[in-house]
Amino acid sequence: MKYEVDTHCHTIASGHAYSTVIENAQAAAKKGLKMIAITDHGPAMGEGVNRYYFGNMTVIPEQIEGVYILRGIEANILDNEGTLDLPERYLKKLDIVLAGLHTGCFVKGTVEDNTRAVIEAMKNPYVDIIVHPGNPEFPLDIDRFVEAAHEYNVHIEINNSSFTVSRKGSKDNCILIAKKAAAIGARVSLGSDAHICYDIGNFDKAEEVIKEAGIPAENILNTSMKKVIDILKSKGRQVVPSYKTSTKI
């Protein structure tokens, strides 16, 4: 399968990542990607970014090295009410919002607590993707989670780094999540979760899970830049107004 977009990429701003926006764009161009989302961790992560960083992302050019740049965040879900660590006035300036549960930002709860927190976050109209839901540290009621993602038009991330360097033990959960998504037609997004430019566009392990589950290409967000733009716009996101999918890039 061909992928045009990586929806989950970090920069040095995250505090534990090692490349710049420009290096990420250069790496994406080399891999033949058309678009990447810059999604640094939200302010609640100890070494994360303050809110003004997200408020000022409009200074980033639409395209760097021929690659379109989505201004985004990997927001932290803070509590069982699904509260995010960035206020709406900042979220609405961004092109794409990822959200998820992270150690140190969310107090580990029961399956019911974790599931409720994620489902409440999905009701937030700014949330586009729930990241790494297969993390065994925060187990979810998979059926309810996937059904809610489908209902609220939120993408479920299959996170490549969950099978390589992070969140050990995620694979079994991810396969169950992907199979449930395939069964009901819920949509997914593959994310590299790159913390260094060389990992941008790496989806090989996530793709194995997608294949095993039998999720069709039309239900995978990042197979097409046009699809990403159309879906974000349909959710009322501004994206960058001058995006034209016919533009030569």
28-36, 68-76, 109-117, 232-240 -> range binding Zn ion (CB under 5 A): 68-76
Q: Closest separation between CB of residue 86 and Zn ion, Å?
A: 15
The residue with its CB nearest to Zn ion is 193
Residues touching Zn ion, count (CB under 5 A):
2
Residue from 6, 23, 40, 74 that binds Zn ion (CB under 5 A)? Answer: 74
Q: Under the criterion CB under 5 A, does residue 40 sit at the interface with Zn ion?
A: no
Matching residue, tokens 């009410």: 81
Q: Closest separation between CB of residue 28 and Zn ion, Å?
A: 16
Q: Closest separation between CB of residue 216 and Zn ion, Å?
A: 26
- The amino acid present at 102, given as its one-letter code, is H
Q: CA–CA separation, 38 vs 73, rounded Å? A: 7
**Nearby residues of 122 by Cβ (< 8 Å), 6 or more positions away:** 82, 130, 148, 149, 152, 154
Q: Which CB, 8 or 237, lies closer to Zn ion?
A: 8
Q: Say what the alpha-carbon torsion angle 68, 200, 120, 169 is, to the nearest 10 degrees.
A: 170
Q: Report DSSP letters for 28-76, one per residue.
A: HHHHT-SEEEEEEEPTTSTT---HHHHHTGGGS-SEETTEEEEEEEEEE
Here the tokens at position 80 are 């069982």
Binding mask of the shown chain, residues 160 to 199, with x at each position contacting Zn ion by CB under 5 A: ---------------------------------x------
Residues that bind Zn ion (CB under 5 A): 74, 193
